[in-house]
Amino acid sequence: MLGESILAATTAVQAALASGEALSALVPLIVGGLLIAYSMWWIYFDRPVHDLLTSLRTAIVWGYGHYVVFAAAAAVGAGLAVAVDQAAHHATIGPRAAGAAVAIPVVLYLMCLWVLHDRPAYRQTRLLGPVAAALVLLTPLTGHAVPLTGGILAGLVAVKRVILGPQRHGHA
């Protein structure tokens, strides 16, 4: 799903550039969109979760919870395309609404992963997901939701790396 999100955003950027939009107007969206996609990937795979699947009930919640995870990831790609269309003046919505089209699915993604990953077993980082989600919800108010959301998610990844260290993560 994250690959499809990058594809949707890339297609929107290509269309904006083909219509004559200046690259400089799209750079913050491109950088922010890439930070969002890469950070979402990292947050999903930041630690092994096999130790969380200890019962049939937990496995069912885990499995069905992924419907929300995948839907939110796909919606982020659509939101990024909306943000690019708004920046290229191909959409009639304002920057706050375009920012909300990105921020809301990112928050849904973060909170669902918090329920599935962090909340059950990881006390050290348990509050990071809700704090990051609250900050992301504020980004549409600035009119620069995509780069700010990308920065918040990259910061979340960095803080988790510092708190937990590389030995506790699924990555080296």
Residue 143 Ramachandran class (φ > 0 left, ψ -120 to 50 alpha, else beta): left
Q: What is the pLDDT of residue 166?
A: 62
What are the residue boundaries of the structural domains of the chain, listed by start? 2-168
Q: What is the pLDDT of residue 8?
A: 72
Choice between 114 and 132, residue whose per-residue pLDDT is larger: 132
Lowest mean pLDDT segment, chosen from 23-27, 40-44, 74-78: 23-27
Mean pLDDT of 102-112: 96
Local structure of residue 68 (DSSP, 8 states)? H
Choice between 91 and 151, residue whose per-residue pLDDT is larger: 151
Choice between 55 and 126, residue whose per-residue pLDDT is larger: 55
**What whole-number percentage of the chain has pLDDT above 90?**
45
Q: What is the pLDDT of residue 171?
A: 45
Q: How far is 138 from 108, CA to CA, in rounded Å?
A: 14
When the pLDDT of each residue in the chain is averaged and rounded to a whole number, the result is 85
Choice between 110 and 27, residue whose per-residue pLDDT is larger: 110
Q: What is the pLDDT of residue 95?
A: 93
Q: What is the pLDDT of residue 120?
A: 59
Residue 121 has pLDDT above 50, yes or no: yes
